[in-house]
Amino acid sequence: MAEEKTTVDMDTIVSLCKRRGFIFQSSEIYGGVGGSWDYGPFGVELKRNIKDVWWRDVVHRRDDIVGLDAGILMHPKVWEASGHVESFTDPLVDCKNCKKRFRADHVQDGVCPECGGELTESRLFNLMLKTFLGPVEDDASLTYLRPETAQGMFVNFANVLEASRRKLPFGIAQIGKAFRNEITPRNFTFRTREFEQMEIEYFVKPGTDEEWHQRWVEERFDWYLRYGMRKEYLRLRQHEGDELAHYSKATYDIEYLFPFGWAELEGISNRTDFDLRQHALFSGRELTYFDEETGTHIVPYIIEPSGGIDRAALAFLVDAYREEKVRKRKRVVLQLHPDLAPVKVAVLPLLRNRPELVDLAKELASDLRMHVTTAYDDTASIGRLYRRQDEIGTPFCVTVDVDSLEDHAVTIRARDSMDQVRVPIPEVRQTLLDGLGRG
Ligand code: GAP
């Protein structure tokens, strides 16, 4: 039986991510850039899988939510109406000695955490990243890279309602990039300046909002459990009065116990009718819903489950990480849910200098590749190949050995139990699909 170590420090995760090709520092050859990260071959698959299961669960498997892909660049008035120009700020302090800047709520005792120097009084700093549309850089062409995907869904409320003929309650879901000029990006990919969000804006009748809020809080909490996150590393936390955003009547955060402490994965807010009323006011357009039961036009309330894909990816990585002792040797394994694992199956020939084995293994890999993400690898000894696949969380390895040429069977090794079974080649595909929960 393997001994397990279930907690991991951030340095170990950062180094695994770099070594195995999950996440690299942005522009590393130029010394890196703060608050931006690049996802390597396995990181991009992990992120894509998170987005796919989210979209599958909230759009395809429900009939009350439709998707949207709005632009990152929007009319500058959007950000006035939303309150971002006025209120999307963090308090900032400067060090009078080393000139570094910090979020006022991240420093203690008015002293610079880097050099101990004296800090200035705090002042408000807007987190939106500015840009200019067109060739002239003046106030008239100023706009922002969106700091959240949400506003694209609010401004398209009437379009989606009209096109999809929905009745309340219904939702719009969107996945996309968002940008914030964070003063102190930190904790690897946890707080960055460029990130991806997965957001739902769920429109409900006023008066039913509190009940829907509770339902969405439960639904979203269960979603993280469904994909394998350990319950004891997840918790719900309700925002205190002064912590609430300007648009929110109530917010719950789903938090994960990262190596640096409890921190937000996703927020679920009751945004009331704030957004539709603001955009109606600023645009002059009517953003209402005709309620056939009462014969009146109403402004729906909005329940918003808003999660970060980068944060989810980091939490899934941290949560899946295990160090085990197997026959006195350390084994690192990512116990990722099969739906999230970047590679589902690896086909490995036991001997790479036997062309018949290599051919058979490659043939099997190309058949499996039509059904699931499959890797073929013959670049090291079988022990090292297993270790490599364990570290990226591949649920199954298929080994083709000399006997395979005679008995037309291969060995399937399960990642977590390390159990091995001999399976006739014609049954391999179905056995793997069953094991991956896709039978
Ligand atoms: N529309 C509401 C909204 O944007 P938020 O709590 O500011 O709410 C939602 O952001 C989610 O986006 C967070 O729970 C987090 O997962 C992610 N997120 C926010 N800022 C981030 C950042 N700087 N880096 C990475 N993810 C971030």
What pLDDT, on the 0 to 100 scale, is given for residue 242? 86
Ligand 1 contact, 151 CB (< 6 A): no
pTM of the complete model: 0.95
Note if the bond before 169 is cis, omega within 30 degrees: yes
Question: Measuring from atom 6 of ligand 1, which residue has the nearest CA?
Answer: 267
**pLDDT tens per residue, the chain (439 residues)?**
444 445 799 999 999 999 999 999 999 999 999 999 999 999 999 999 999 999 999 999 999 999 999 999 999 999 999 999 999 999 999 999 999 999 998 898 889 999 999 999 999 999 999 999 999 999 889 999 999 999 999 999 999 999 999 999 999 999 999 999 999 898 999 999 999 999 999 999 999 999 999 999 999 999 999 999 999 999 999 999 889 988 999 999 999 999 999 999 999 999 999 999 999 999 999 999 999 999 999 999 999 999 999 999 999 999 999 999 998 999 999 999 999 999 999 999 999 999 999 999 999 999 999 999 999 999 999 999 999 999 999 999 999 999 999 999 999 999 999 999 999 999 999 999 999 998 7
Ligand 1 contact, 148 CB (< 6 A): yes
Residue-level length of the chain? 439
Ligand 1 contact, 310 CB (< 6 A): yes
Ligand 1 contact, 150 CB (< 6 A): yes
Spell out the long-range contacts of 155-160 with Cβ–Cβ below 8 A and sequence spacing 24 or more.
155/70, 155/74, 155/78, 155/279, 155/283, 156/68, 156/70, 157/203, 157/276, 157/279, 157/287, 158/285, 158/286, 158/287, 160/66, 160/68
What pLDDT, on the 0 to 100 scale, is given for residue 1? 40
- Listed in sequence order, the residues at least 6 apart from 412 whose beta carbon sits closer than 8 Å to its beta carbon are 396, 397, 398, 420, 421, 423, 428, 431, 432, 435
Instruction: Please state the atom number of ligand 1 nearest to the C-alpha of residue 147.
Output: 4
What pLDDT, on the 0 to 100 scale, is given for residue 106? 84
What is the CA(69)–ligand 1 centre distance, in A? 18
CA angle 57, 61, 63 (to 5 degrees): 125
- What is the full DSSP assignment across 131-174? EE-SS--SGGGEEEE-S-SHHHHHHTHHHHHHHHT--SSEEEEE
Residue type, 382: I
Residue type, 316: F
Torsion on CA atoms 274, 280, 281, 284, rounded to nearest 10: 180
Neighbouring CB atoms inside 10 A of 225's CB total: 11
Element at 258 (helix H, strand E): strand 250-258
Q: Which of 279, 277, 264, 275 is nearest to 303 (CA)?
A: 275
What pLDDT, on the 0 to 100 scale, is given for residue 86? 93
Question: Measuring from atom 7 of ligand 1, which residue has the nearest CA?
Answer: 148
Q: How far apart are alpha carbons 400 and 420 in whole angstroms?
A: 13
Q: Which of 155, 135, 176, 153 is nearest to 76 (CA)?
A: 155
Ligand 1 contact, 305 CB (< 6 A): no
Find out whether 149 and 176 touch, Cβ atoms under 8 Å: yes
Helix (H, G, I), strand (E, B) or coil at 418: coil
